[in-house]
Structures are given as structure tokens and as C-alpha cells.
């Protein structure tokens, strides 16, 4: 926030304070009660121009360092799926990984995505011994052709990445990072991401020397109007390409419990993106992207929608048909009466600067967090 106007600095400070308080109150699970990693083999990847299956293994470790240290991102509820200990157990994580890994039919699935609801490259989240164990297991499975892992930029170290690329032999390596928005103020304030554009530029240079880069873009950060969110998503894809991303994933905002966005939503100050907005974004892009199917850990309690009459049909068209073909033409021909309501929403304007919008909602959010904490302790 160096060099930022005073209202933005104050907003960031207040937001961080409330987020940290919210994380303190977030229930987490003792590690001994977490019996396995999450395994999802339903998602697809485009490889050599064709859709292929991918296995997503999500280790349930101690949770994202950024969320524990600074309150984390406003829409992210992964910490509620993490274990409560501050030090992860190597034996437990190794066993969880092995069980999920041994369950995958690698003859059918050539892609492994390794996530942990945080940064796989952070030694405090995934201990070095576990990381080395995982790399050795992958290296011994020749049918895996692509390995993708998620990390925040501060954990991407050039030497370690070079070592990893070498240890994986000829397999492709992909590093996935949350860019989220084209706008610095949205990333810093509305999302509380703690990642500047300079940090992204630095990490993109390091990653693209030995691996491919996947960037995540959030659709509809809080405090943006629907139209602002559409414009930002389109701009963020352009920025992601400029940074060297070859793979761009949209993350349409969902409602996970124990997030600031959840509390905003619960007091009527936030709505997830309309599916019409997602279609509009895909139409405006002149390049293919992937739309994440909301398979978060813990699962969201509400996801983007239109009206009840058209939501599931359009959702299927986006998540299944668009993702398979990466062609926005598959989304033509859908219409519903609720499009008129969506157009009305698009015409809504908010002339206030972002920091003012946030500051006017924070007291309500804080009250909602404390009220929920009070009812939990009764």
C-alpha cells in the first residue's frame, strides 16, 4: 500500500483487522480427525488441443499462510477445511497423499493437480519431507504427463522451481497463482489479496522460464457493480496473457462459510455473479479460458445463479459444454425472462471510490461476525 492515498491505507488496515478477527473465530478440525486428502477426477484439462481428465488432489494441511497471518482473501473459506495445528504432520500428509494417488487410474488420467487450500510451495503448509515424497511418487509414475500446483508468489523460489522441474523429468510443470483482478485497488482492498502487480510480474518471469503459468481470475469481487465486475474480468484475462499465462481459470465467486463475502451476502450487501454475466464475459473474450466448477473445500453454500427457471441449464452449458469446447458459441440460443432483470442490474452505478464503499459496509460486517460468534458460544 506504499504510495496509496490515505483513505485506502485506512480501509486496508480496518479490513485486515476484521478479517483477522473472523479467522480467529473460524472453526478448524484437529489433524487426527482429517482422514484423507480430497480427490476429484471429474474435471478436465485441454492437452494437445483435446479435453482430458485430470485428478485434483487437495491435501488438508494447516491452511493458507496468508489467511492465518493476515486474515486472507475476502472470498476464501479454505481455512475452515484446514487442520487446527500450526505444524502439519509429515506422516499424516504423506499417507493422505498416497491414498488419493493410489486411487487414481493413471492410464486414463494424465494430469495431476496438487492443491492444499493454500500454497503447495510453502514449507510451513507442506513440509519439505512431504513435498519430496510427493515428487518421488510422481516421478515414478510415467503415465502422468502434466503436474500443476498452486502457490502464492512469495513462495515461488527460482532454485526450488528448477529443482522441481528437473525432478519431474520430462513432465510438464504448471504453477497456478491467483491474479484475481486487473485492478490493483480491487486486488488489495476488495479481495485483500496482498499481491501487487510487481510481485506478479516477478513471479511470472521466474515461472515461465521452466514451467507454464496458470492464473486465476475472480469473477465478481465484492463491492464491484455487476458491470464493473464484467469489465474487470475481461481486463484481467488480457493482463494474465500479458504476464505470460497459457492457462486462465475463471473462479466465479461463491459463498463459502466463514468468509467476509459470506457475511456481506448474509446482510444483503453482496450477490454472486449472474450466469448471464459469465456468458457475457466469455463472449467478449477472443480467447478460450476455463470456468471453475465451484468444487471448493469446504463446499460453497451458494453459487452463481440466474432465476430458478434457467440457472441449472445455463450452468451446465457453461461448466460442461463451454469448458469442453472452449467456444462461446455453445452459449448462444439461451434466453429467459430474467435477462431483463440482469440488464437492469447492469445499469446500476456506484460513483463512490472503492475505499468508501468498503468502509460504509465494514461496521455491518463486523456486527454480523460478532453476532455469529455470540450465537456459537451460547
Residue 274 dihedral angles phi and psi, to the nearest 5°: -65, 150
Site for Zn ion in 132-151 (CB under 5 A): none
Assess 314 for contact with Zn ion (CB under 5 A).
Answer: no
- Give me the least distance between CB of 318 and Zn ion, in Å please: 14
Which residue, chain included where needed, has cell 466469455?
Answer: 282
Residue 72's binding partner among Zn ion, ligand SF4, none (Cβ under 5 to 8 angstroms by kind) is: ligand SF4
Q: How many distinct helices (H) and strands (E) make up the chain?
A: 14, 8
Assess 258 for contact with ligand SF4 (CB under 6 A).
Answer: no
Q: In the numeric block, which cell numbers belong to residue 36?
A: 484423507
CA-nearest of 17, 28, 125 to 71 is 17
262 vs 342 by CB, closer to Zn ion: 342
Site for Zn ion in 288-307 (CB under 5 A): 306-307
Among 18, 177, 282, 338, binds Zn ion (CB under 5 A): 338
Assess 73 for contact with ligand SF4 (CB under 6 A).
Answer: yes
Site string for ligand SF4, 105-134 (x = CB under 6 A): ------------xx----------------
Residue 310's binding partner among ligand SF4, Zn ion, none (Cβ under 5 to 8 angstroms by kind) is: Zn ion
Assess 277 for contact with Zn ion (CB under 5 A).
Answer: no
Assess 152 for contact with ligand SF4 (CB under 6 A).
Answer: yes
99: buried, middle or exposed (CB in 10 Å: 19+, 13-18, 0-12)?
Answer: middle
Assess 178 for contact with ligand SF4 (CB under 6 A).
Answer: yes
**Spatial distance between the Cα atoms of 60 and 81, rounded to a whole number of angstroms:** 7
Q: Quick count: other Cβ atoms within 10 Å of Cβ 107?
A: 7
Residue 336's binding partner among ligand SF4, Zn ion, none (Cβ under 5 to 8 angstroms by kind) is: Zn ion
Assess 80 for contact with ligand SF4 (CB under 6 A).
Answer: no
Assess 265 for contact with ligand SF4 (CB under 6 A).
Answer: no
**Spatial distance between the Cα atoms of 188 and 195, rounded to a whole number of angstroms:** 7
Assess 187 for contact with ligand SF4 (CB under 6 A).
Answer: no
137 vs 257 by CB, closer to ligand SF4: 257
**Spatial distance between the Cα atoms of 304 and 369, rounded to a whole number of angstroms:** 23
Residue 152's binding partner among ligand SF4, Zn ion, none (Cβ under 5 to 8 angstroms by kind) is: ligand SF4
Assess 64 for contact with ligand SF4 (CB under 6 A).
Answer: yes
Among 161, 189, 229, 310, binds Zn ion (CB under 5 A): 310
Bridge partners (DSSP) listed for residue 149: 114, 175
237 vs 261 by CB, closer to ligand SF4: 261
Helix (H, G, I), strand (E, B) or coil at 39: strand
Bridge partners (DSSP) listed for residue 178: 216
Site for Zn ion in 348-367 (CB under 5 A): none
CA-nearest of 58, 10, 68, 18 to 38 is 58
Residue 77's binding partner among ligand SF4, Zn ion, none (Cβ under 5 to 8 angstroms by kind) is: none
Q: What's the maximum distance between 2 C-alpha atoms anywhere in the chain?
A: 57
153 vs 328 by CB, closer to ligand SF4: 153
Q: Quick count: other Cβ atoms within 10 Å of Cβ 157?
A: 13
Distance from the Cα of residue 197 to its chain's centroid: 17
Q: How many residues bind ligand SF4 (CB under 6 A)?
A: 11
Q: Quick count: other Cβ atoms within 10 Å of Cβ 47?
A: 15
**Candidate ranges 40-48, 58-66, 182-190, 328-336; the one touching Zn ion (CB under 5 A):** 328-336
283 vs 352 by CB, closer to Zn ion: 283
Q: Which contacts of 344-351 are long-range, i.e. CB under 8 A and separated by 24 or more positions?
A: 345/226, 345/274, 346/226, 346/227, 346/230, 347/227, 348/225, 348/226, 348/227, 349/225, 349/227, 350/225, 350/228
Residues of this chain that bind ligand SF4 (CB under 6 A): 64, 66-67, 72-73, 76, 78, 117-118, 152, 178
Residues of this chain that bind Zn ion (CB under 5 A): 306-307, 309-310, 336, 338
Amino acid at each position: 500500500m506504499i504510495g496509496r492515498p490515505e483513505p485506502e491505507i485506512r480501509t486496508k488496515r480496518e479490513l485486515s483487522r476484521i478479517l483477522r478477527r473472523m479467522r480467529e473465530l473460524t472453526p478448524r478440525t484437529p489433524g487426527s480427525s482429517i482422514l484423507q486428502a480430497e480427490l476429484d477426477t471429474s474435471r478436465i484439462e485441454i492437452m494437445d488441443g483435446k479435453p482430458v481428465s485430470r485428478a485434483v488432489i487437495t491435501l488438508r494441511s494447516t491452511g493458507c499462510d496468508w489467511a492465518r497471518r493476515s486474515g486472507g482473501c475476502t472470498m476464501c473459506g479454505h481455512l475452515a477445511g484446514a487442520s487446527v495445528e500450526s505444524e502439519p504432520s509429515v506422516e499424516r500428509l504423506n499417507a493422505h497423499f498416497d491414498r488419493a494417488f493410489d486411487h487414481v487410474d493413471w492410464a486414463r488420467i494424465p494430469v495431476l493437480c496438487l492443491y492444499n487450500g493454500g500454497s503447495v510451495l510453502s514449507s510451513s503448509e507442506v513440509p519439505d519431507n512431504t513435498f519430496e515424497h510427493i515428487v518421488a511418487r510422481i516421478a515414478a509414475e510415467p503415465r502422468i504427463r502434466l503436474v500443476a500446483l498452486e502457490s502464492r508468489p512469495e513462495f515461488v523460489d527460482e532454485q526450488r522451481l528448477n529443482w522441481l522441474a528437473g525432478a519431474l523429468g520430462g513432465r510438464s510443470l504448471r504453477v497456478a497463482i491467483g491474479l484475481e483482478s486487473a485492478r490493483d485497488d480491487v486486488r488489495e482492498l476488495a479481495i485483500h489479496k496482498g499481491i501487487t502487480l510487481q510481485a506478479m510480474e516477478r513471479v511470472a518471469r521466474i515461472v515461465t522460464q521452466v514451467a507454464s503459468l496458470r492464473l486465476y481470475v475472480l469473477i465478481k469481487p465484492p463491492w464491484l457493480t455487476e458491470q464493473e465486475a464484467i469489465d474487470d474480468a475481461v481486463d484481467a484475462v488480457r493482463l494474465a496473457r500479458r504476464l505470460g499465462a497459457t492457462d486462465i481459470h475463471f473462479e466465479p465467486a461463491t459463498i463459502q462459510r466463514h468468509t467476509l463475502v459470506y457475511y456481506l451476502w448474509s446482510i444483503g450487501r453482496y450477490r454472486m455473479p449472474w450466469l448471464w454475466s459469465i456468458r457475457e464475459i466469455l463472449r467478449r473474450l477472443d480467447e478460450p479460458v476455463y470456468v471453475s466448477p465451484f468444487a471448493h473445500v469446504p463446499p460453497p453454500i451458494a453459487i452463481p445463479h440466474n432465476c430458478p427457471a434457467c440457472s441449472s441449464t445455463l450452468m451446465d452449458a457453461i461448466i460442461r459444454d463451454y469448458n469442453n469446447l472452449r467456444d462461446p458459441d455453445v452459449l448462444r440460443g439461451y434466453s429467459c425472462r430474467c435477462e431483463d432483470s440482469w440488464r437492469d442490474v447492469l445499469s446500476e452505478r456506484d460513483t463512490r471510490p472503492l475505499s468508501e464503499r468498503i468502509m460504509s459496509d465494514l461496521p455491518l460486517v463486523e456486527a454480523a461476525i460478532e453476532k455469529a460468534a455470540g450465537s456459537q458460544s451460547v
